[in-house]
Amino acid sequence: MSKQVLTNLKTKFGDRVDIHEHNDRRAYVTVSNEDWMEVLRYMYEVEGGRLTTATGSDRPTGVELLYHFAIDTDEIVVNIRTTLKKPFPKIESLAPYYYAADFIEREIFDFLGVEFEGHPDPRKILSSHDRPADFHAMRRDE
């Protein structure tokens, strides 16, 4: 591992994280739904990662979440990935622990219909108020 943060992740989580180093400044880490919150909180609370944003995308395997953490002191962006089952994707929310996730998760809920359990303010954020509540613009199966 070229960067300290990746070594730390491997040491702490072992086989529970699958690390792919794209190059020395970008890495992709795949985790299971069960380990998701533990890894995210570790990235923010221990490694001091800054949640730049999160990408949600509808893929054949399910709804994929990709949280992008920038480690400014280590010159690397670590992207944490997990895949949620359709048709009702659901996962624990990071917002109660890290406020930056508030708007980001609301956006993913709005466009992909991912339910974030424990989110303090689970409303739609960007789409028009007259759209039906169950309409999610970036879902491909509807």
Partner 1 sequence: MSTIIPIGPFHPVLEEPEYIQLYVNGETVESADIDLGRIHRGMELLAQEKTFDQDIFLVERICGICSASHSWAASLAIEDIVGVTPPDRARYLRTIVHELERLHSHMLWVGLAGHILGYWTVFMWGWKYREPVLDALEMITGNRQHYAWYKAGGVRRDVADEIWPEILKIIDEFDKNTDMLIGAILDDPVILSRLKGVGILTKEDAIHYGCLGPTARGSGVDIDVRRDDDYGAYSEVDWDVIVQPDGDCLAVSVVRLLEMKEACKIIKQCIEKLPGGPIVTEIRDIPRGEGVGHIEAPRGESFHYIRSNGTNMPERHKMRAPTFLNIPSFRPRVKGETISDAVLIFAVIDPCYSCTERMAVLDPSGKPFMTGQDLIKLSHEKTEKLRREF
Of the pair 20, 85, the CB lying nearest partner 1 is at 20
Instruction: Kindly tell me which residue out of 5, 17, 29, 77 binds partner 1, with binding defined by CB under 8 A.
Output: 77
Instruction: Kindly tell me which residue out of 8, 33, 57, 83 binds partner 1, with binding defined by CB under 8 A.
Output: 57
Instruction: Kindly tell me which residue out of 8, 30, 53, 83 binds partner 1, with binding defined by CB under 8 A.
Output: 53
CB 72 within 8 A of CB 51: no
Give which of 106, 135, 136, 108 is closest to 119, Cα–Cα: 106
Read off the amino acid at residue 72.
D
Where do contacts with partner 1 occur on this chain (CB under 8 A)? 22-23, 25-26, 28, 50-53, 55, 57, 66, 68, 70, 72-73, 75-77, 79, 98-104, 111, 125-128, 137-138
